[in-house]
Amino acid sequence: MDAPAEGGTEGSLRLPAATIFLSAFLLFQVQPMVGKLVLPWFGGSAGVWTTCLLFFQTLLLLGYLYSHLVVRHLSQKGQIRVHGGLLLAALLTLPLRLHPFFRPLGGNEPLGHLLGLLTLTVGFPYLLLSTTGPLVQAWVARRGRIPYRLFALSNLASMLALASYPLLVEPFLPLKAQAWLWSAGFATFAGLVFALARRNAFEAVDRKATPEPEERPGTILKLLWIAFAAVPSLLLMAVTTHLSTNVAPIPFLWILPLGLYLLSFILCFEGSRWYQRGLFLGLLPVLLVIMSLALRPDFKWMDYRFEALSKAAFWLASVRGQVLLFSLGLFVACMVAHGELARRRPHPQFLTGFYLRLSLGGAMGGLFVAYLAPRIFTTYLELPLGLAAAAAVAGLSLAWDQSPRPRWQRPVAGAMSVLALGLGLHALRLNRPEDQITIARGRNFYGTLAVFDNPEHTWRTLAHGTITHGGQFLDPAKANHPATYYSLDSGVGLAIASLKEPPRKLGLVGLGTGSLAAYGRPGDQLRFYEINPLVEPFARHYFTYLGQSLAATEVMLGDARLSLEAESAQGYDLLAIDAFSSDAIPVHLLTREAFALYFRHLAPGGVLAVHVSNRYLELRPVVRASVDAFGWKARVVDTDSDEEEGTYGSTWVLVTQDDAFFDGPAFRDNEDVKPLPDKALLWRDDFSNLFRVLK
């Protein structure tokens, strides 16, 4: 802590420090909690988390605006009365719970529903928590103290909250208990604020007695504050989207970038010794170039003259390499931007205005990624453009510097500007695989879709991000051949072949290219459940499975779990769960309650087929636990890739009550058919732990 002012004691900062610490802890503890709470209604896409971040950044901006206005226009006693009344009102909204009014329906754009749900669920308490930092720091500043280290303390609390959630909270507490515990923490926080208001140390101070600084912050400096806050926020959300979409959609990869973002705030505002300007400005361009290259689809195939560089390229294309590279790059970029912010922080009398512009920049970066980018780009261009913006901001910090500038500073500023331009131009060349021909692209809340042909125009694939979601031969003689994960020898292929003769009724969760429609026979009914409204037009326009199917097909838009809950029992002969968000099935489709719903919709002797192929998560124990809970029978079918047949390696778990089903000819003596592993991990709607299923 800073040295006490004359007439003050070190102990006088303990209560405001405790209040700020608890408020910041609650602010960031609730973010992953609420993000997980809303996933069953909105799917598992990265868009859910980026929308949550945008919501929280917007409320932070409103909270800082509130603090700025009340400090400028209300007396100390007036601030306490208004703030105390709002805290009492916020207590009446607890405990946290989802409000069914904003439950999404059909295939409508979910952004408005999600923001509305977040507002009713946590909006008012979160808004009041967000005001605490600048408001209490302003009270401390009125007593003649320098409060900026309290800002570092609040970011430390935020980082601890994020780290504790996946390690100490999520693995041991169901969501309902988490919500009640958080609500109790908010009540404790309100008590600390009321205790703080009563302290003699925060009695009204005559403003006229407060000395005016000699210089007010100018317009250019205020704009720099906004820019230095906007770019790290943009990179935070863009890196999170990249890792969640292309690596794995797990809370750890939501929390890791946010934790590094907060760590940079802690180090830069705790003191000047952490931000070594020359070191971080030297690392930044190197990391920006490597990250930009790593975004190329053919990066891992780049031909290097030196073996060491070739091995490094392959490692950077791996899961660990991607996570490490983009985490380190994000941290260095945040250190540069936040370090330059800390060097330009104003006199404490202008503290609330400084924080207001800082939060405005953060909200602008979040708005660009979560709202504007999906509407103006068909690919994830916000990350490569964010890398260019990071170089531009570094150059800006060197060009507009009030401190004495060494000789190297001007040419380095120019070099950073050139680098920013080069990275921007390189961004336009990304997402163009050299070994494939792009046929179509699209993007919405749920991510990016792309259709690619091979150079010979014999094979077409549908990709979500970097993950293939189906493919088809373009030769008419082979076009209706089920391929990729749905081949004749795959788990779902064997299951369908073992069903009774048509007519049959099949429920298929996840549309993709519509590959499973190839199994339809005259008299069959096939109902696809698809959450992403962009998938159906892509499947119908660029692929022929749906159009050429011999069965009657229909597509139900909306989250499959919600759609199945709203329907009466369908009596499906087979229900296939093949809904992937990035490279994994959304968690809410693998809980015990979800399996109970699936079994309700199966006909007597019907089969549930669950697609669990995954590079990062071992999902078979989760299926095993639910199968055991209901006493059903299950087998795993593992198949390998076959390029000539257009077959991808896949893992399906087949579940049925029919003891004789697995004695059929399709399964007897089939080396690909194995029992489920003994390990079991039961997930429920209010409790799941992805860390325990990481490979």
DSSP 8-state code for residue 617: B
Same domain (yes/no): 590, 655 = yes
| Nearest partner of 612 among 485, 467, 466, judged by Cα | 485
HEC profile for 109-147? CCHHHHHHHHHHHHHHHHHHHHCHHHHHHHHHHHCCCCC
Same domain (yes/no): 164, 223 = no
| Nearest partner of 275 among 145, 147, 412, 394, judged by Cα | 394
Q: Which helix (H) or strand (E) holds 286?
A: helix 277-294
CA distance 35 to 23: 19
Same domain (yes/no): 168, 314 = no
How confident is the prediction for the chain on average, in pLDDT?
85
For residue 129, give the amino acid letter. L
Same domain (yes/no): 246, 202 = no
61-75, 188-202, 587-601: which is most confident: 587-601
pTM: predicted TM-score of the whole model, two decimal places: 0.79
Both tokens of 557, joined, read: 């838009």
Q: How many C-beta neighbours within 10 Å does residue 473 have?
A: 16
The phi, psi pair for 632, rounded to 5°, reads -90, 175
CA distance 474 to 458: 5
Give the model's pLDDT for residue 583: 56
454 found inside a domain = no
Give me the residues paired with residue 441 across strands.
450
> Of 387, 413, 430, which marks where a domain is finished?
430
Q: What is the CATH number of the domain that holds 632?
A: 3.40.50.150
| Nearest partner of 332 among 278, 386, 273, 287, judged by Cα | 287
Q: What is the CATH number of the domain that holds 288?
A: 1.20.1250
Q: How confident is the model at residue 144 (pLDDT cuts 50, 70, 90)?
A: low
467 found inside a domain = no
Q: How confident is the model at residue 316 (pLDDT cuts 50, 70, 90)?
A: low
Same domain (yes/no): 316, 357 = yes
Give the model's pLDDT for residue 424: 86
pLDDT at 130 over 60: yes
438 found inside a domain = no
Give, to the nearest 10 degrees, the angle between helix 251-270 and helix 319-343. 30
Same domain (yes/no): 168, 241 = no
455 found inside a domain = no
The number of distinct structural domains making up the chain is 3
Same domain (yes/no): 196, 230 = no
CA distances in angstroms from 410 to 278, 398, 674, listed in the order given:
14, 7, 67
Q: Which residue has the tokens 């190329």?
A: 296
Same domain (yes/no): 204, 223 = no
250 found inside a domain = yes
CA distance 32 to 49: 8
Give the model's pLDDT for residue 321: 79
Give the model's pLDDT for residue 152: 80
Buried b (16+ CB within 10 A) or exposed e, 267-279: bbbbeeebbebee
630 found inside a domain = yes
Q: How many C-beta neighbours within 10 Å does residue 199 have?
A: 12
- Report, as an integer, the average pLDDT of 312-318: 65
Same domain (yes/no): 569, 689 = yes
In sequence order, what E strands does 299-422 have? none
> Of 430, 458, 474, which marks where a domain is finished?
430
Same domain (yes/no): 233, 333 = yes
> Of 174, 208, 242, which marks where a domain is finished?
208
Same domain (yes/no): 407, 284 = yes
pLDDT at 37 over 90: no
**Which of 74-83, 401-410, 621-630 shows the lowest per-residue confidence on average (mean pLDDT)?**
401-410
- Report, as an integer, the average pLDDT of 361-389: 89
643 found inside a domain = yes
Same domain (yes/no): 656, 550 = yes
Q: Which domain holds residue 30?
A: 1-208
CA distance 164 to 166: 6
pLDDT at 249 over 70: no
